[in-house]
Amino acid sequence: MKRAVVLLVFGLLSVCQAQTETGGEEAGGEEEHVELFTTPATKMGAATSDFGYNLFRAMASRETATNVFLAPLSVSVVLTQLSMGGSERAERQLQRALRYHTLQDPQLHNTLKDLLASVRTPGKGLSSAARIYLARRLRLKQDFFTLVEQQYGVRPKALLGGTKDVKEINDWVSQETGGKVQRFLANPLPRSSGVNAVSATYFKGKWVTRFSQSGPLENFQLDGAAPVRVPMMHEDNYPVRMGADSDLSCTIAQIQMQDDISMFVFLPDDVTSNMTLVEESLTAEFVQDLSMTLLPAKVTLTLPVLRLSYSTDLLPLLGDLGLSDWLENPELEKISAQPAKLSSINHKAVMETAPEGNQYPSASSAPSHLTYRVDRPFLYLIRDDVSGALLFIGRVVNPKSLTI
Ligand SMILES: *[C@@H]1O[C@H](CO)[C@@H](O)[C@H](O)[C@H]1NC(C)=O
């Protein structure tokens, strides 16, 4: 699926340091079809992102008009671990939902492991945990434990049943995320649970360019309700890449973070919590095209300070990803000879942004007259620019109701 992003140039003088290709955008994109994802790492980045967008769409369409967050890569990893326990047929079904059929990669697991290692390098500010927990009553096959451990460095774990399990799982998640994802499970797993997938991610966004003003409470408009007061970060002459998409009725800004991470903000033109149009257009290819079309600009930037924590069980969403048959009969024959089913995919995402950055915006005599003011519902995503992998995606309808 290829759709052209129509970019309006706002105020010719102010925007474009990148005017060299004037007029070439529309024609160029259509004529020469360039293969966007050419290396195993970028193909894997695209596959995990497309799985993430599909999962996010499933969440967002069930929970309309609410805040929704997802850190999809850790979900890809835990489900990939699980796929190793299935029959050939079941493995194929699950890996298809994970979009791996697009890869043709015989080294699939190594490619995913390398991608995971590269996005977890300390400078990027991402930590994550992904592990399978299994009911002991299933009489588990030890070969599966060894297989997953050899490949992903995390050994699946047998559960004892009861409240001890909650402490065990929560302690492990906390340890893997440097103490940043706490109270992963609020309630014990159901007594009858069989196979449980656990995934958690913490992300601390670090800007390249710092914000000098942070914290003043300002109005954030809500769809159909009175505005709320939330802490905002503010900076003049802030370098972003930017464009307006008239088809999606939104303005998009890409804000650079440290170590080749960036945040894309999709800000609808109107105050609305309905972002269906944007949600439906999200694919790895769309975002890659977008990143090549946005133009550098200096703007007066206002962003809410984000501190959020979001937990959910993703299991009910798998049916929307074409996995209804698989859920009925996941054929986890390499895990246990007894029939075993997936009982939960608990997921927790925690994210913080802070005003700090390692550069000051360039001094300028007059502030830019372009403004980008994120003071109404928006959608954002955090992307690793090297691999293209989607690390985090969220719809912020009311930042006030986010807690950490
Ligand atoms: C949201 O927007 C889409 C597309 O603009 C529209 O088709 C849909 O009916 C809207 N949903 C709601 C709940 O208003």
User: CATH number for the domain including 332?
Assistant: 3.30.497.10
For 72-83, write each residue's pLDDT tens digit. Answer: 999 999 999 999
Closest residue by CA, ligand 1 atom 10: 274
Look at residue 64 and tell me if it is in a domain.
Answer: yes
Question: Are residues 45 and 124 part of one domain?
Answer: yes
Ligand 1 mutation pick, 274, 379, 397, max ligand atoms within 8 A of CB: 274
User: What is residue 287's three-state secondary structure?
Assistant: helix
Residues of the chain with pLDDT under 70: 1-34, 364-365, 367, 404
Question: Are residues 170 and 81 part of one domain?
Answer: yes
Question: Are residues 377 and 287 part of one domain?
Answer: yes
pLDDT for 235 equals: 92
* Six token digits for residue 173: 């998640």
Look at residue 196 and tell me if it is in a domain.
Answer: yes
Look at residue 240 and tell me if it is in a domain.
Answer: yes
d(CA 174, CA 328): 32
pLDDT for 34 equals: 63
pLDDT for 16 equals: 33
Q: Is the CB of 277 under 6 A from ligand 1?
A: yes
Ligand 1 centre to CA of 307 (Å) is 28
Q: Is the CB of 272 under 6 A from ligand 1?
A: no
Q: Is the CB of 65 under 6 A from ligand 1?
A: no
Question: Are residues 144 and 293 part of one domain?
Answer: no
User: What is residue 398's three-state secondary structure?
Assistant: coil
Q: Is the CB of 228 under 6 A from ligand 1?
A: no
pLDDT for 365 equals: 62
Look at residue 139 and tell me if it is in a domain.
Answer: yes
Question: Are residues 271 and 161 part of one domain?
Answer: no
Say which amino acid occupies 62. Answer: R
Closest residue by CA, ligand 1 atom 12: 274
* Six token digits for residue 194: 């069989």
Task: List Cβ neighbours of 146 (8 Å cut-off, separation of 6 or more).
Answer: none
Question: Are residues 147 and 105 part of one domain?
Answer: yes
7: left (phi over 0), alpha (psi -120 to 50) or beta: beta
d(CA 226, CA 224): 7
Ligand 1 centre to CA of 68 (Å) is 17
Question: Are residues 212 and 80 part of one domain?
Answer: no
Which residue in this structure is represented by tokens 């799982």?
169
Length of the chain counted residue by residue: 404
Whether the pTM exceeds 0.85: the reply is yes
Question: Are residues 279 and 329 part of one domain?
Answer: no
CB burial of residue 91 (10 Å; 0-12, 13-18, 19+): buried
Question: Are residues 249 and 158 part of one domain?
Answer: no
> Which residue range is the domain that position 237 belongs to?
207-306+356-401
Quick one: angle between helices 72-83 and 142-152, nearest 10?
Answer: 140
pLDDT for 32 equals: 56
Please choose, from the candidates 158, 184, 150, the residue with its C-alpha nearest in 3D space to the C-alpha of residue 169.
184
Look at residue 348 and tell me if it is in a domain.
Answer: yes
Look at residue 389 and tell me if it is in a domain.
Answer: yes
Closest residue by CA, ligand 1 atom 13: 274
Question: Are residues 321 and 211 part of one domain?
Answer: no
pLDDT for 375 equals: 97
Question: Are residues 181 and 64 part of one domain?
Answer: yes
Closest residue by CA, ligand 1 atom 6: 276
Structurally, how many domains does the chain consist of? 2
Question: Are residues 152 and 91 part of one domain?
Answer: yes
Query: Any idea what the CATH number is for the domain that residue 375 is in?
Result: 2.30.39.10
CB 91 within 8 A of CB 84: yes
Look at residue 33 and tell me if it is in a domain.
Answer: no
Helices (H), 218-346: 276-281, 284-293, 324-328
Q: Is the CB of 64 under 6 A from ligand 1?
A: yes
User: What is residue 241's three-state secondary structure?
Assistant: strand
Q: Is the CB of 274 under 6 A from ligand 1?
A: yes
pLDDT for 59 equals: 97
Look at residue 31 and tell me if it is in a domain.
Answer: no
Per-residue b/e over 148-162, b at no fewer than 16 CB within 10 Å?
Answer: beebbebebbebeee
